[in-house]
Each structure stands twice: as structure tokens, then as C-alpha cells.
Structure 1
Amino acid sequence: MSAMPENKSARIAALADQCVQCGLCLPACPTYALDGNEAESPRGRIAIAAALANGLAPVSDELREPLDHCLGCLNCERVCPAHVRFGELLVETRALLGPAPGRPRVLLALAKRPTLVRWTRFPGLRRWFARLARGLPKRSRWRAALAIASLPPAAQPQPQPQTIPARSRRTRALPRVALFPGCVGSVDDASAQQAAVTLLEAAGHPVTRLPAFCCGALDAHGGHAQAAARAARRVRESWRASGAAILVTVTPGCLGQLRHALPGVETVDPYPLLAAQADRLHFRPLSERVALHLPCTQQNVARSGDALQALLARVPELQVTLLPPRCCGAAGSHMLEFPERAAALRAPTLEAIATLAPQALLSSNIGCRVHLAAGLAGQEIAVPTLHPLVLLARQLIPGHPS
């Protein structure tokens, strides 16, 4: 490997120097809990990054593996007393190392192209995908991908009869928002994106839809710095053409990369905007018990868990149980790159869901939702999964007078 650029190395070294090696991050790290290995902790990864940046160690598989295993959940950032920007350090270090040799490039290239993703979702292919997946080894990345592709469409709650006459009312329009569809999300979360439009417009926000393409998060976290930069330029071009004041995504896994591409632009998931206008939103009763999974990116990047729970609390008769806060192991492409590790990280969450036996599982991040759905299907646990926005939109009473 050629020598690292001095400016990049200096940047990594400066980020690593912020760490005071206190170890308070260790209990918060899912991979450290899984392995009990210091190298698989934030503190260990920071030490590895510093050694590589300062030329104190050569790049090797042994040093690279813990960096590749990192989920990027950012639990460590939330508990760090020194405010180390671990996510930035991880992306910078992976960019210097470049993509991992064993990265499933074909699978990830497919995931980034909405047209191809849509083709794989044809109903007639699901059964064939399921049979093919069962014949592959458990550690196979293609088995993990086919298990996801064979999932049935996410169940959606049926609308209840209108109980209060709908009436339109003139309200002051709030700032226009641009909805970013993403890549896989533009296909598998199409119902959630339509739900976001319905709810945001009911709250008073005009909505513009941007074209569907990858935000660059998969590339940025996989060490493809140039591809991530190209995606960022496309995000900026689409944003400038939108005429909007706020950028919104229903997938919190895209938020960090979108914010990186558009510094200074308000970039959020819909929940804070909806919660701020909650008096304009009224919902039909729904007598169901649901389990709520808060993805790591929703807790640590969007930080919108409280707003989501407040919105769900406005649905009469709905019983919401919050699942224990732990990473499910999806972590973007991690569930495809390291399917066995991802399954081990997912196991406690599946156990919690089985114990609760809810009538539905809610999760805002498409990767987490399909990873959990595949795990539930593999254990023959019949719990439908859906995006919380879908539930809220289906229960919304349109035109309800405020």
C-alpha cells in the first residue's frame, strides 16, 4: 500500500488524540460486548487508527478487521466525555485504507440502483429466492441478501372507517421540505415515503420529492471516498433544484451522509417536524400492541426517538412497548458483509420480540427492519414489520379541525 497522504494522516491523528482512553465507551459498544476483545472496542479502534496514521504499524488484515467490523452505531459518541468524533474518524480511516478486499461489491452495487432493486421485488421471484437461500451456507453473503429479497411486502394496517367528518381548513403554510427517497428505501420504503408526504402536508409543510438515488452512505462507510463524493455532489445538485428549506428522509441511516453533503441545511427525519405541529394531527383509535425498535441512527444521529414516541402516544388505544436499546446488527452493509456477526447481534432483539409477542414491529430504518424481519421469518415468528410513519398515516383523520 502506498504511503498515506500527510493531510489525511494528520487529520486522523488529530481526531484520535481527542481520546483520553477512559474506557467509558466499552460498555456501550455492541462489538465489544460480542467479542470481549479490546481491539473490537472504540478505544481499540482509535488506537489502531492512530498507529496507522502515524506510521507506527503497517496495514494488515489483523489491524483492518476490527475497523471493518465496526457498526458505526455511534453509541460511543453519546457516552464519550471527551466528545471524540468517532464516526468521522472511522470514515476517514476507512477512506485511507480503501474498500475491504472481500467486500460484496456486486450486492452493494445492486442495492444502490433503485431500478435493479425494484426488479428483484417481483412477487414471482420471492419463493425462488427463498429456496436458493436455504441451499447456501449460513455464512454466505448471498444467503443473507436472498433471505431479505424473499421477504413478503411489509404488512400495513388497514384504514379504519372515517369516524369524524373531514373538513378542510386554511392554515399558514410552513417551510417547504424536500423528501430524499434514497436507493433501497425508494423501493422498499415507498409506502413510508408516501406516508411522510401525507403527514407533513397535513401538518402544513408543502413537500417536494427529489429523484431516487444513493446518498453515498454505503460508499463512505465502505472506504469508497470518491464514489461517496460523487453521490454528495448529486445530493447538492438535487437540493439546489428543489427550492425547499428543509431536507427530510424517512431513513435515519441516510441522515449523517446527507448532513455531510449539505452542511448548514436543516436535514431531519419527519418526526420533529410532525411533533412540532402535533395539534394539527388527529388519529383514529387503534387497539393493538406494538413493539417499537429505535435504530442506532435514530437515537444517535437523528435523535428523534422522543418525538416519535410522542406521536405514537397520540393514537388512542395503541399500546407501544419500547425494545431494549441495542444494535440489531444491520448497520448498513454489515448484515451482508458479516452475516454471522450480524445474526449474533440480532439475536437478543429477536428474543425480546418473541417474548413480547406484539401484533406488529415498528422500526424507522429500512436496513434494520428487513434484517429483523428476515430473522423473525427464519424463526417462524409471525410478527409483521412496518415503518412507524405508515401506521401514523393510516390512522390519520384527514381534514380534522384543529
Structure 2
Amino acid sequence: MMSMPLEKSPQLAPVGRIAELADQCVQCGLCLPVCPTYALDRNEAESPRGRIAIASALARGLADPTAGLREHLDHCLGCLNCEKVCPANVQYSELLIETRALLGPAPRRPRLLLGLLKQPALMRALRRLGGWLALPRWKNGLARCLPANSPWRAALLSLPDKSPAASVRVDRNDREQPRLALFPGCVASVDDAEAQQAAITLLQAAGFHVSVLPAFCCGAMDLHGGATAAAEQAAQRVRLAWEASGASQLLSVTPGCLGTLRRALPGISVLDPVELLATRAESLHFRPLAQRVALHLPCTQINVARTDAALLQLLRRVPGLEVLSLPRPPYCCGAAGSHLLEFPARAAQLRDATLQRAATLEPQRLLSSNIGCRLHLAAGIDQQDLSWPTQHPLTLLAQQLISTRLNQEHS
């Protein structure tokens, strides 16, 4: 194990909160069978129970904050499968955030690349420039010139082949104050604008009124990367935008943003639109689609949004659509926010295992709600020469939606 000290020593920060959270763990080991990284390494230090022990020792000054110990914490995907099965109700997500904040950002963190991803206007402009230069045609060749563990290589391989859709908009013909506000985010506002527009189309067809917040980063990558100050700045921006919206509920089509948005807005209802659509599912009618699709359920959709059942309910309303869910814990695609950039080899192992399971379903399309997961999976599909288009489930639903006028005729 390496003994190089990290940037920040735990002796300089209060340890009570981390110790309190760690002491809730009864070391039963029920988290081990559902942990993707433990399944990958079969190493106790790569399990929730092991990481809790590491966090406790670091916080109490019983272990030096070496790069080796830090790596076990940084390998965590934050999938929260462990929280779901924990009989002691350990707040593992909070423990991980607090411990990473204590240690500060990892030295390997690709600050420049993450800074770019957090600026949607700049990213959209660069994507347009890349389209003019036909970057999608030669991105794979360029990526091969970079080291295998380069975050820029992983980012190039995850670059979508098609140009981003136009920014999301709302066409409103009434004067009623929208009670729903959609949060576009950063990467999602560029590469998932089609899904966000689909969400608005579906919500309006179901009778909801929606507005759209400005596009910016919610701070999730900073929060989970130990960059506390930057995460708080993003949270403050979320609060200001929310207050200006005048809405009563906030929505995100990206499950990976929900936890961070809820943390920034305690007491506010922050939802996956799927949850609201499911409450009015009977008012939505869809054209038939004779196709078999593999449904990848992101960890955050299951463990944070908890809308997997609602999503299946909606998809099964499409006549002729055969929806097959990929197996769950301990499986994870490995995207996990910036994890696919910081640990591309590990992320690729987890992704390839996910695609192998998808292949057994013989799908014609692969659906996934989280933009990071979908870009990561699409990169693997491209590298393996598979013929599955990838799509947000809401995009498919909006494409098959029968218009509001025809909905009324069905009623």
C-alpha cells in the first residue's frame, strides 16, 4: 500500500459526524452481496462494510490518509444498493460524502474536463464545432492515441455520434402558473435535451403545466468528488433558480441529479417526471411498437428516485412493446458520475458485464434514464459493434404518444 499523504489531513477537520455515521454499522455483511465493486474485486476494502471501517479509522486518526486507502473510497460508485438492504439503516451516502469532503478532491480528479462538462453553453458550442469538423468519424482513432487510463480518452469514446438537440422549450397556450419546474442540468441539458422535451410533451398531455429552469450544473460531481466549496456554490445557484421559478415541485429526467437537488432544497418535492406521469397513466395513449427493448435501470432510479416500477408501468402501456429489465444487484454499468472518467478500466469492466447480460435478452433497443449511464453504455455498444440504438425511456414514450386531440377521442 502506498503511503503518500493526501492533500488534506483528517486531523484538521471535525470527526464527530463521520464517527457517528460509521458507528451505526453493525458489520453484518448483508451489503456485500449487492455491492458491484465487491463483486468485481472480492476485497473487503472494496465493500461498504470495509469503506465504513476505513472512514471511521481516518476520521478518528487511527489510520493515515494514504493514497491507497483513498482509492478504496474513490472506487465506490455511490449506487446505494447497500443502503437499501441495510438492517441498521446506515446513511451510507451521507457517510461517503462527508468522508470525501474531509479528504478533499482526489489528486487524479480531471478538473479541467469536469469544469468543461459543467458549462453547458460552452459544451454545446464545442459540440457544434466538433460536428463541423466531423469529430464523430475520427474520435475512436484519436482516442487510441491517448493512454488507456486517460479521462480524455474515456470522454472521447463516450461522445455521441449525433449533434445535440435544440435546447428544451415550453409552448404554453394558457396563463396558469406552472407548478412544475424542470431542471435541465449540465451534460443532460445538451445530450439529453430530447428526453427533457419528451418529458414536457408527456406531462402536458397528462394535464400538467411545466416551466424550465436555466441550464447549469447541480453540483453532483463536485459533491461526490469532495469539492465541498464548489458543490455549495452550485447548491446556492439551484436555490436561487428554484425561488425565481415560483413552482411547487422540481423535476429532473436525470435520476443522478435527484439526490443532489434534494440535498440543496430540503423540504421541497424533487421528483422524476415518471412518478407524476404514472399517476395519470390512464390519460396517455400510445401507438403500437412491435419491438423488444432491454431496460437498463440506473442505480439512482432504483435507490434514489425509486421510480422503476412506475417506469415499467408506463412502458407496458405501449401496445406490442416487449420490455425486458436487465438483472439487478450487484450489477452496475460503472458510469457513476465522473467514475467512468477517473477509473475508465474499472468502469469498462462493469459496463461490459452489463452489456453481456443485455445481449442475452436479444434486444432491438436499449433504454436507460441516466445520461451518464446511456453515454457509457453506448460507447461499449459501439466498441463491440452491436446494433442497439440507445434512448431515454421518455423519448420512446413521447415518440409513440397519440396526440392530445386523439387522446380526448379515446376518452
- 1:343 pairs with 2:348: yes
Choose from 319, 332, 338 the match for 2:322.
319
Residue 170 of structure 2 is matched in structure 1 by: none
Residue 91 of structure 2 is matched in structure 1 by: 85
- Secondary structure of the equivalent of 1:121? helix
Q: How does 1:119-134 map to 2 (within 5 A)?
A: 119-122=125-128, 123=131, 124-134=134-144
Choose from 33, 36, 52 the match for 2:39.
33
- Secondary structure of the equivalent of 2:199? helix
- 1:396 pairs with 2:406: no
Given that residues 9 and 65 in structure 2 are in contact (C-alpha distance below 8 angstroms), is that contact kept between their aligned partners in structure 1? Answer: no
Given that residues 252 and 273 in structure 2 are in contact (C-alpha distance below 8 angstroms), is that contact kept between their aligned partners in structure 1? Answer: yes
Residue 257 of structure 2 is matched in structure 1 by: 254
Q: How does 1:56-75 map to 2 (within 5 A)?
A: 56-75=62-81
1:25-65 deviation line (CA, Å, top 9, x unaligned): 00110000101100000000000000011111121112111
Choose from 292, 300, 304 the match for 1:301.
304
- Secondary structure of the equivalent of 1:20? coil
Q: TM-score, normalised by structure 1?
A: 0.93
Q: 1:205 Cα deviation (Å)?
A: 1.2
Residue 163 of structure 1 is matched in structure 2 by: none
- 1:105 pairs with 2:105: no
Q: How does 1:19-30 map to 2 (within 5 A)?
A: 19-30=25-36
Paired residue total: 386
- 1:378 pairs with 2:383: yes
Counterparts of 2:160 and 2:312, CA distance in 1: 31
Choose from 126, 141, 148 the match for 1:138.
148
Q: 1:148 Cα deviation (Å)?
A: 1.1
Residue 166 of structure 1 is matched in structure 2 by: none
| Comparing 276-285 and 219-228, the one that deviates more | 276-285
2:119 aligned partner, one-letter code: R
Residue 161 of structure 1 is matched in structure 2 by: none
Given that residues 127 and 164 in structure 2 are in contact (C-alpha distance below 8 angstroms), is that contact kept between their aligned partners in structure 1? Answer: no
Choose from 291, 294, 299 the match for 2:294.
291
Given that residues 177 and 209 in structure 2 are in contact (C-alpha distance below 8 angstroms), is that contact kept between their aligned partners in structure 1? Answer: yes
Q: How does 1:161-172 map to 2 (within 5 A)?
A: none
1:94-151 deviation line (CA, Å, top 9, x unaligned): 0010000111111111111102221332322222322201222322221111111253
Residue 161 of structure 2 is matched in structure 1 by: 151
1:238-272 deviation line (CA, Å, top 9, x unaligned): 00011111100000000000000001111011111
Choose from 242, 245, 249 the match for 2:248.
245
Gaps of 5+ in 1: 156-169
Given that residues 125 and 150 in structure 1 are in contact (C-alpha distance below 8 angstroms), is that contact kept between their aligned partners in structure 2? Answer: no
Q: 1:175 Cα deviation (Å)?
A: 6.7
Q: TM-score, normalised by structure 2?
A: 0.91
Counterparts of 2:287 and 2:347, CA distance in 1: 37
Residue 194 of structure 1 is matched in structure 2 by: 197
Counterparts of 1:222 and 1:294, CA distance in 2: 23
Divergent runs of 4+, >6 A: none
After superposition, the Cα gap between the structure-2 partners of 1:116 and 1:154, relative to the gap in structure 1 and judged at 3 Å, is closer
1:258-297 deviation line (CA, Å, top 9, x unaligned): 0000011110111110000112111111111111000000
- Secondary structure of the equivalent of 1:320? strand
